[in-house]
């Protein structure tokens, strides 16, 4: 049905999907702040969702979803003004299936089916991750004066592929059969936005600076991806130093979402933007 959209969530392990889901679940259920979307219902493991939302409310680190406990969760939301409905699918919160796609060059048929409709994509990546892919020549000035490291070559494996290259591969898959070729809205969600030092650049400027291959790819593939970049701090700050301060706030007001025309706490804004394209 044209007014029911399925939006897929993509992200490598530890890219912030679970924390986003925990905060989103609380946000749309509690109604503490104004959001552009309202909750309809949930498909999937409510116990699991409540568990991660409990952790999130206590300002505890939301436990990382393990591959063994891979949890498929779908949330139905609607836009109050128009009544339009959308299903937000988190097919693999652990993110390991995405990593496996790049490594094994295989995906499940159901994953392909998820992209058959006119829905959009949320692509998760985290700002709280050491930079990978640095070359020996990049590192040389830092190692100057130190004893040269011994040659203990580690064999290349798919896990050596830099994050931005893996993400480009995941998006390139969507451009070719067996996926349906269509222009999709793509919301890039940069999680752990609070770790970025002030003055913070705009999310897109940050993406250009930190993951330039991915940014170039998105700019160059307007026929496949109509993209926007959002910075999201689903926890609202550092759970070590700032925990006391965070706990004093209304939980939904801890959430920070940065992007064009976004209300500061509205995590549903990227999803709402995806719905506009359907």
- C-alpha to C-alpha distances, 224 to 122, 217, 244, 264, nearest whole angstrom: 14, 10, 44, 29
Q: Which stretch binds another protein (CB under 8 A): 34-42, 62-70, 74-82, 153-161?
A: 153-161
**3 state DSSP class of 123:** strand
| Binding positions for another protein, 90-109, rule CB under 8 A | 101, 105-109
- What is the rounded CA–CA span in Å between residue 119 and residue 179? 13
Query: How many chain residues touch another protein (CB under 8 A)?
Result: 50
Question: In this chain, which of 149, 197, 199, 248 binds another protein, going by CB under 8 A?
Answer: 149
| Binding positions for another protein, 187-246, rule CB under 8 A | 208, 212-213, 216-217, 219-222
The nearest distance, CB 181 to another protein, in angstroms, is: 12
Q: Is 146 exposed, middle or buried (0-12, 13-18, 19+ CB in 10 A)?
A: exposed
| Binding positions for another protein, 107-126, rule CB under 8 A | 107-110, 112
- Closest to 42 in 3D by CA, of 62, 70, 21, 63: 21
Helix axes 163-174, 212-220, angle to 10 degrees: 20
Q: Which stretch binds another protein (CB under 8 A): 87-95, 118-126, 161-169, 263-271?
A: 161-169
Binding site for another protein (CB under 8 A): 101, 105-110, 112, 132-141, 148-156, 158, 160-162, 164-165, 168-169, 172-173, 175-178, 208, 212-213, 216-217, 219-222
């Amino acid at each position: 049905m044209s007014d029911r959209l399925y939006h897929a969530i993509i992200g490598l392990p530890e890219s912030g999907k679970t924390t986003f889901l925990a905060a989103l679940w609380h946000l749309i259920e509690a109604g503490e702040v104004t959001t552009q979307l309202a909750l309809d219902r949930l498909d999937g493991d409510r116990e699991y969702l409540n568990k991660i939302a409990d952790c999130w409310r206590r300002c505890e680190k939301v436990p990382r979803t393990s591959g063994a406990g891979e949890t498929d969760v779908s949330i139905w939301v609607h836009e109050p003004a128009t009544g339009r409905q959308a299903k937000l699918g988190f097919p693999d919160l652990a993110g390991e299936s995405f990593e496996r796609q790049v490594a094994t060059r295989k995906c499940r048929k159901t994953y392909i089916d998820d992209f058959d409709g006119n829905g959009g994509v949320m692509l998760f990546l985290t700002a709280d991750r050491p930079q990978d892919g640095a070359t020996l020549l990049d590192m040389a000035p830092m190692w100057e004066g130190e004893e040269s490291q011994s040659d203990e070559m580690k064999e290349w494996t798919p896990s050596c592929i830099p994050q931005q290259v893996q993400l480009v591969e995941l998006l390139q898959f969507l451009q070719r059969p067996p996926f349906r070729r269509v222009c999709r809205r793509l919301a890039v969600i940069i999680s752990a936005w609070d770790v970025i030092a002030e003055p913070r650049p705009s999310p897109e400027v940050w993406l250009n600076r930190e993951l330039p291959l991915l940014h170039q790819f998105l700019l160059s593939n307007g026929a496949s991806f109509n993209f926007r970049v959002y910075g999201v701090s689903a926890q609202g700050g550092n759970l070590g130093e700032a925990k006391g301060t965070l706990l004093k706030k209304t939980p939904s007001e801890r959430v920070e979402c940065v992007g064009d025309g976004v209300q500061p706490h509205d995590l549903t804004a990227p999803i709402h933007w995806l719905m506009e394209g359907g």
